[in-house]
Amino acid sequence: MGKQTGILPISGKIGDKIYYARKDKHGKTHYFVRNAPDEVRQTAATQNAAADFGTASHCAKLMRDALKEYTQHYDNGALINSLNKAMGEVVRADAVHKPGHRQATGKNMHLLQGFRFNHQTAIDRLLNETPFIETSDGQITVSLPEISFSRNKALSGVTHLSIKAIALSVNFATQTTTHIASEAVLIRRNDKRQVTFTLNTNNKEITCILLQVQSYYEVNGQLHLSQNKSASAMDLISVIPPVISAKKKVKKLKNKLPVFWSTPAIQIVPKRKKVVRTAPRLLLQE
């Protein structure tokens, strides 16, 4: 595999060469070039695996685009591969559909629980408390009993922590997403307090609950976001499957004729004619 040294970066296939870019763990982009294969042979199993991976990539992209405003601070390009890999496990766990047609279903989305959108740190490295989640009638409550700063070196010089809860509802079939976020709560370094977030979500869709923690330092009474990427985190702390309403059972008829409202039949008996019988006449003989 050769490395591209030209001043103009190229991406894609030109002739028998394939040009592509990759980012390292520091976020620096490197360009490479390799020879295109003369012929690509794939078995049926390989084609099915490629199709399922494509499904996982589309689902991961849908989530990344919906959360871009929250991840742009620490996304250095590694999020694409890490979320694709995690979503691939969700798709491969589908036992209902055949290989090559597998889907990301709500039953298997719990495999994403604990996923870190910032691979450099996690929520438990910044906070000393574990979030507690409750659901009731479409409302989701995220509680933190007593928030306090951890002893992570990344928090040195940080004076405030901003904590926010996010609910992302996803419909992979229609390729649509909706999300709501709570108001951010600021915690001073030496303060300890309980925090509760309440989110009203669409319980008919797959709902991912995320917790975001950002670090700030105060200068002359103003708060500034820390540029240390290890001082901010956003984790997927829970996945709530969609609530399926019970369908009413319809009574099946034995015949296929339509049902009509009928009135009870009334039997009409015809009236009988009265027959008048007269006494027979007697004939007198002379």
Give the dihedral of Cα atoms 86, 87, 91, 94; nearest 10 deg. 70
What is the percent of the chain where pLDDT is above 90? Answer: 36
Quick check: is 251 in a domain? no
Quick check: is 228 in a domain? yes
48-63 pLDDT, tens digit per residue, is 999 999 999 999 999 9
Q: How confident is the model at residue 92 (pLDDT cuts 50, 70, 90)?
A: very high
- Whether residues 132 and 213 share a domain: the answer is yes
Please state the domain count of the chain.
2
Assigned token pair, 166: 């996010």
Measured CA to CA, the distance from residue 217 to residue 232 in angstroms comes to: 13
- Whether residues 53 and 7 share a domain: the answer is no
142 with 199: CB under 8 angstroms?
A: yes
- Whether residues 132 and 4 share a domain: the answer is no
Quick check: is 122 in a domain? yes
- Whether residues 76 and 28 share a domain: the answer is no
Residue 179: CB atoms within 10 A of its CB come to 19
Q: How confident is the model at residue 204 (pLDDT cuts 50, 70, 90)?
A: confident
Domain holding 29, by residue range, is 1-36
**Residue 123: phi, psi to the nearest 5?**
-60, -45
Query: Where are the extended beta strands (E) located within 172-232?
Result: 176-181, 185-188, 193-200, 206-219, 222-225
- Whether residues 31 and 61 share a domain: the answer is no
Quick check: is 172 in a domain? yes
Query: Pick from 182, 142, 135, 180: which is nearest to 162 by CA?
Result: 182
Angle between helices 78-92 and 44-66 (to 10 degrees): 120
- Whether residues 21 and 77 share a domain: the answer is no
Quick check: is 29 in a domain? yes
pTM, two decimals, is 0.72
Give the dihedral of Cα atoms 157, 162, 163, 165; nearest 10 deg. -140
Instruction: State which amino acid sits at residue 92.
Output: R
Quick check: is 169 in a domain? yes
